[in-house]
Structure 1
Amino acid sequence: MSGARTRGRVVVGVDGSPGSRQALDWAVRETRLRGTVLHVVVAWQHPQSYAGNIWSLGLDPSFDVEVAGAAAGEAARLTREAVAEVTVTTTSAAVEGHPTRVLLDEVSPEDLLVVGSRGHGGFVGALIGSVSQHLVAHATCPVVVVPTRP
């Protein structure tokens, strides 16, 4: 082994859940060890109603801009909090779409993808969430699933 370091980014998916915050903390530490860039990703989706797509309820299309802005603000806020006391180069993105698809599209083979074991939604008490399971099965890069600590 040559000892050369990889230059891929550490990409972390966050949704504001305790598990994703722990994944973000882990990703910050790993980014420092690797001497690379931390890329924080928040995926957002249009809300759904029992009747289907929420647009069937007649909401103003400017709602899109508000949701995207809120997601981008959340990504920036979480990133600032996580790296407040360390020196790490960061980027962040708020992308419309299902978290699995967004994260798969955001990574390249040389990256390291980090996610929490459980996010918002799904079945409480499951050991690993459906997004984490899908990413482990389909990502083209290594995936770290950080267990949620109580």
Structure 2
Amino acid sequence: MGRIVVGVDGSDGSLEALGWAARQAQLTGDSLEAVTTWDYPATGWASMVPGMPTEFDPEKLARQIQEESLERVLGPDAAGAVTRTVLVGNAAQTLLDRAEGASLLVVGARGHSGFRAAMLGSVGIHVTHHAPCPVVVVRGTTGEE
């Protein structure tokens, strides 16, 4: 048995990737690790946003997004079996680090429809070029059959 790492940031693309990775883990018997990353904002921007609470906790928000994503896509019972990892750092590099020794890395693609749907986001591009294991980029649906 191996380990499948999936990037989860709450976006539609990452929710599609999470669902795909969970089905793949079920088929292969691999464990599933959901990875959510966050980074400190550029100096001072948070203090300039009107209504931004002074006790803003980006790690707590990242954990909340991850938990809600897991329960929404997998349901509470299946979500309980997923290893949760929340780390500070660049998303692409953090996913690459967590993919060391993994059997598969799964990420969502960004895009909407037509040409834009065929394009990868910067994280997808980076991990497909540098991952230490196979990578699956889940495009999701475009609304067109």
Q: With structure 2 as the length reference, what TM-score do the two structures score?
A: 0.79
Q: Retained in 2: the 8 A contact 1:46–1:54?
A: no
| Residue number in structure 2 paired with 1:111 | 103
* Counterpart check, 1:70 vs 2:64: no
Q: Which has the higher helix share?
A: 2
For residues 35 and 108 of structure 2, what CA distance do their matches in structure 1 show? 13
For residues 105 and 28 of structure 1, what CA distance do their matches in structure 2 show? 20
| Residue number in structure 2 paired with 1:83 | 74
2:14 partner letter:
S
For residues 31 and 54 of structure 1, what CA distance do their matches in structure 2 show? 41
Backbone CA RMSD of aligned residues: 2.7
Unaligned stretches of 5+ residues in structure 2: none
Q: Retained in 1: the 8 A contact 2:13–2:110?
A: yes
Q: Retained in 2: the 8 A contact 1:13–1:41?
A: yes
Q: With structure 1 as the length reference, what TM-score do the two structures score?
A: 0.77
- How far apart are 1:114 and its partner, in Å? 0.2
| Residue number in structure 1 paired with 2:26 | 32
Percent same amino acid at aligned positions? 37
**Number of paired residues?**
134
* Counterpart check, 1:145 vs 2:137: yes
1:83 partner letter:
L
Detail structure 1 runs of 4+ shifted over 6 Å in the superposition.
58-61
In structure 2, do the counterparts of structure 1 residues 85 and 96 end up closer, same or farther at CA, with 3 Å as the change threshold?
closer
1:92-144 per-residue CA deviation (whole Å, 9 max, x = no partner) reads 1111111101101111234210001118xxxx926111111110110101100
Unaligned stretches of 5+ residues in structure 1: 1-6
Q: Retained in 1: the 8 A contact 2:4–2:102?
A: no
| Residue number in structure 1 paired with 2:14 | 20
For residues 61 and 113 of structure 1, what CA distance do their matches in structure 2 show? 36
